[in-house]
Homo-oligomer: A and B are copies of this chain.
Amino acid sequence: MDKQKEILNAALKLFVEFGFHGTPTSKIAKEAGVANGTLFHYYPTKEALILALYKDIKLQLTEYMYSRVNAGDSLEQAFRSIFLNTLDWAQDHKEEYYFVQQFNMSPFLSLIPKEEITRQAKPHLDMIQAGIKNKILKPLPNEFIYSLISSHIYGLSQYLSASDLSPQKQKKLISDSYDMIWDMIT
């Protein structure tokens, strides 16, 4: 087992449960089954560990998001795939999804350079812009549409986590939700 990965796994689990400052590095090391010093061998500071975890998770999410989008897909198909992929991922990686939200609401967010954040959002904003140009989407500010979709996904995923629906009911609700937001922005 890769100790570096074990440390990230342990950190994720504990951060989600106790918060960033609520979990001492010593407990992370213990949970990961490594010595205290080993943690600091891989991550020079606790802050570096938090940032590494965030970047790692963000990378996984981004990869999965686009995983079922094909080159020939229409804009509408691509939108739908990304929406559904994101929701699938959020449901299958609740801790990770929660961690990202938690991170975004923390002072650590300011440690991520602004350019990296815009770079992350760029593909989505470009798609939205293309949608507006093609008169598929309403002529609203890109960032506004992006913000609405993001929070729509967040709201839905929160509801899915809170309620306890059967898989097929979940699927139906996710599909309906997509139609709702799609109608909203087109």
Binding site for B on A (CB under 8 A): 17-22, 98, 101-102, 105-107, 141, 143-144, 147-148, 150-152, 154-156, 158-159, 162-163, 173, 177, 180-181, 183-184
How many copies of this chain does one complex carry?
2
Contact (Cβ within 8 A) A143 B155: no
Given A19-B107, A184-B184, are A173 and B144 neighbors across the interface (CB < 8 Å)?
Answer: yes
Which residue, A18, A155, A162, A183, has most C-beta atoms of chain B within 10 A? A155
10 closest A-B pairs (Cβ-Cβ)? A21-B21, A151-B155, A151-B151, A147-B159, A147-B155, A105-B105, A19-B107, A102-B105, A144-B159, A148-B155
- Nearest to A15 among chain B residues (CB) is B107
